[in-house]
Amino acid sequence: MLRFLTSGESHGRGLVSILEGFPAQVPVAFGVINQDLKRRMAGYGRGARMKIESDQIEVLSGVRHGYTLGSPVAFVIWNRDWENWTGIMSAEPDPAGSEKRRVTRPRPGHADLPGGLKYQFLDMRNVLERSSARETASRVAVGGFCRLLLRELGVRIYSHTTAIKNVRISEEVLERVGIESLEQIEASEMRCADPELNQGMKAAVDRAIEQGDTIGGEFEVRALGVPVGLGSYVHWDRRLDGRLAQAVMSINAVKAVEVGSGLESDPYGSQYHDEILYDEAKREFYRRTNHAGGIEGGVSNGAEIIIRGVLKPIPTMRRALMSVDIETKEPFKAQYERSDTCVVPAAGVIGEAMVAIVLAQAFQEKFGGDTLAEMRSNLESFRERVRNL
């Protein structure tokens, strides 16, 4: 089945990925994948690292003449900043400059201290290099391949920013958001579907910058064209909403996930649940509302899938918090690494990738096939059987 591995450190030579179980004969548009990588690096409030890097994938295997081969796809994203870290991040023993940028002061909110204690490191650079959000560039590229597959199967995935701190998109505007909003979303520095809210979100980021602080918010990912029947209710680990929630929660700084209107606790059941209707002409069931976010009982129901991620303010900030040196046990101001102020717009792009990966896996589980043509044929046969029930 479809799975992937990533490897690499934030300031290492590069990020390596292997995508296994991907079907053959899927056309690969490198420009689309590289554009997703560019979108991940954009957004108001990003730091200086984004001005250094210019991420692109270099495929090493699994693709020939623009099509996947069915064999593992291997690719690398080179770190342009590597030339400034060769001694610090060298794999060789005791290289020149290896003592530079040693980290003994764990930063609150990071993996530094728990990771250092887990692996018994006194230099927590060994932790932060891998726990860094830099790794998500690999996931966006893997998700890019999955998006290309899903696009061939009629699925489109997009995202937008719904809140920056307390500046939040209204329910009225949210109800009007759709795939036709994509041009406005991508033109906005905050990736916001409401042009009137864009400046308010930027102002909130500016206030955080002035204070030497960071700021969080929320993003929403939507998937159109997902057929009924992905996932399963028969086992806890096969439920589609659970798998999507885990995937989105795995994104750095995400601390809560909502599927559909899952966080609304005030409506009665009669107001919340989506009534079922039937279209005789199309021979299909449908719903006027979508509070379930396209998933009922762990199974996709054919409606648009809607999932949201809530990001805490990222923990690396110029306004340093108190910490304790892991070696001396003395209190210090936490060490500052070059960082961002707001990553919510970028997190939405990463969220798209994670949703694409899970949906591609679910498609393959349901419809199988070693080639794109076989998967497409199996999907159409299933849809016809459903229409004839």
What average pLDDT does the segment 340-348 reach? 94
Confidence of residue 50 (pLDDT cuts 50, 70, 90): low
Confidence of residue 49 (pLDDT cuts 50, 70, 90): low
Integer Cα distance of 248 and 148 in angstroms: 20
Confidence of residue 186 (pLDDT cuts 50, 70, 90): very high
What average pLDDT does the segment 304-317 reach? 92
Calculate what percentage of the chain has a pLDDT beyond 70.
Answer: 97
Integer Cα distance of 230 and 294 in angstroms: 11
What's the pLDDT score for residue 54?
Answer: 84
Greater model confidence, 54 or 168: 168
For residue 112, what are its two tokens?
């530094």
Q: What is the DSSP letter of 371?
A: B
Most confident range (mean pLDDT) of 174-178, 262-266, 371-375 is: 371-375
**What is the rounded end-to-end Cα distance, in angstroms, of the chain?**
29
What's the pLDDT score for residue 370?
Answer: 96
What's the pLDDT score for residue 100?
Answer: 72
For the entire predicted model, the pTM comes to 0.95
Name residues whose C-beta falls within 8 Å of residue 141's C-beta, 6 or more positions apart in sequence: 17, 33, 36, 37, 57, 75, 77, 353
Please give the residue range of the domain that contains residue 291.
3-387
Number of domains in the chain: 1
The CATH code of the domain that includes 16 is 3.60.150.10
Confidence of residue 153 (pLDDT cuts 50, 70, 90): very high
